[in-house]
Structure 1
Amino acid sequence: MGLISEVLLLPFAPVRGSAWAVRQLLNEAERIYYDPATVRAELARLEERLEAGEITEEEFDRQEDGLLDRLEFASRNSAGLGNGTAP
């Protein structure tokens, strides 16, 4: 039955390939988004913007909360996976 199903589903191969590529892109984007080094760099840039007067204290607090949430999420997930990347 495997060969028959492959032949019947052959017209859908481009869709399956596209879906795989989209999943890979999303996985990589999520890995970068939650990467602790990336989040720490964004926190440093945020602090520089505050010190330069580009943003208000309220805006800094709001953005900092979001970045710290990302960092906490990354730490929780890496510790749960046991991949040794937790601090």
Structure 2
Amino acid sequence: MGLIGEVLLLPFAPVRGSAWVIRQVLHEAERIYYDPAAIRAELAQLEERLEAGEIDEEEFDRQEDLLLDRLEIALRGSAGTGEGTAR
């Protein structure tokens, strides 16, 4: 894009900058959400809550299924990348 194109698009610079920031925040949120270590920690906390009687078996099973689905996605997404997270 030439100088004229850059000058014409200058009024949209804040929008382009904001879109970049939003993409970066979304990427980081997904990285944290699909971090296998974080998911395993959540599973351990869930088991502690069950043992402490804070939740019943049905709630435990429901939440465990959700966490295991997330873990599967995370491990599938990081397979072969050498990273510990999805992406």
Alignment of 1:1-87 (within 5 A): 2-79=2-79, 82-85=80-83
Q: Note the C-alpha offset of 1:5.
A: 1.0
- Greater RCO, 1 or 2 (C-alpha within 8 Å, sep 6+): 2
For normalisation by structure 2, the TM-score amounts to 0.92
How high is the sequence identity, in percent, across the aligned residues? 81
Match for 1:42: what amino acid? E
Provide the rounded CA distance (Å) in 2 between the counterparts of 1:84 and 1:69. 21
Provide the rounded CA distance (Å) in 1 between the counterparts of 2:2 and 2:44. 54
Following superposition, which runs of at least 4 residues in structure 1 exceed 4 angstroms of deviation?
none
Q: Note the C-alpha offset of 1:18.
A: 0.4
Provide the rounded CA distance (Å) in 2 between the counterparts of 1:85 and 1:5. 39
Provide the rounded CA distance (Å) in 1 between the counterparts of 2:2 and 2:58. 60
Greater percentage in helix: 1
Q: Which runs of 5+ in 1 are unaligned?
A: none
Q: How many equivalent residue pairs?
A: 84
Q: Note the C-alpha offset of 1:85.
A: 3.4
> Secondary structure of 1:4's partner?
helix
